[in-house]
Amino acid sequence: MTHDRARTRAELVIFDCDGVLVDSERIYCRIDREVFARLGAEFSEEEMVDLFVGSSGTQLTTLIEERLGRRLEHGWDQPFRHLYEEALDAELTEVEGVTEVLDALDVPFCLASNGSHRSIRGNLTRTGLLPRFEGRVFSAHDVAHGKPAPDLFLHAARSMGVPPERCAVVEDSAYGVQAARAAGMRAFGFTGGLTRADRLTGPGTRLFTHMRELPELLGVGA
């Protein structure tokens, strides 16, 4: 092992889910834009990515309400849920190269997502990834504040028994890399999805474009 590889070696890798493990963000953004338009809230494609990729359900509702200028009723999203389920059932795949990355890791890994446990489990099941993360899935619903607050990543690290400074976070959203920095963790920003590289760059963050690059960047694996 080289000195640089030893210096950068992580003891726990924390993966985001949507856009990192499963290629769902494109599906969500497409359906979201259609649904929001039905509600009367128009967003450009660029706004969809900048505002909603990596957001929590609470953030999403707040952003729509701000655009509408009114409050939404509790459960406003329920009539549209089938649109997401049908699209995910038909189209969802894992992000290219993810299985190879997970096979290469020789340190513990887990998942921490702003999504609900129901959503996370559904998407992992659809792509066959659930067995790899069973018992090591953390949701924003488990903490007081989701990303960009550090709560979720700190909760995951505590649960896995690893100090924050020895954790590496793999993210594809601005909210996610901000949360990693706030938690005192190194962030690896995946630019192979929807989010522009300039939205991910910042202190303590290394950008990469293909999953095959990740094990070497993390300093883990064969």
- 101-141 pLDDT per residue, tens: 999 999 999 999 999 999 999 999 999 999 999 999 999 99
Strand order in the sheet with 167-171: 137-139, 109-113, 12-15, 167-171, 186-190, 205-208
Helix residue ranges, H only, the chain? 3-8, 25-39, 45-47, 57-68, 81-91, 98-104, 117-127, 130-133, 151-160, 174-182, 197-200, 214-218
pTM: 0.92
Per-residue confidence (pLDDT) for residue 219, from 0 to 100: 85
- Domain 3-23+93-218: give its CATH code: 3.40.50.1000
| Apex 36 CA angle, 140 and 58, nearest 5 | 20
Residue with tokens 């991910």: 200
Can you tell me the distance from the alpha carbon of 191 to that of 199, in angstroms, rounded to the nearest whole number? 10
Domain ranges in the chain?
3-23+93-218, 26-90
To which H or E segment does residue 205 belong? Answer: strand 205-208
Which architecture characterizes domain 26-90 according to CATH?
Answer: Orthogonal Bundle (1.10)
The overall average pLDDT reported for the chain is 94
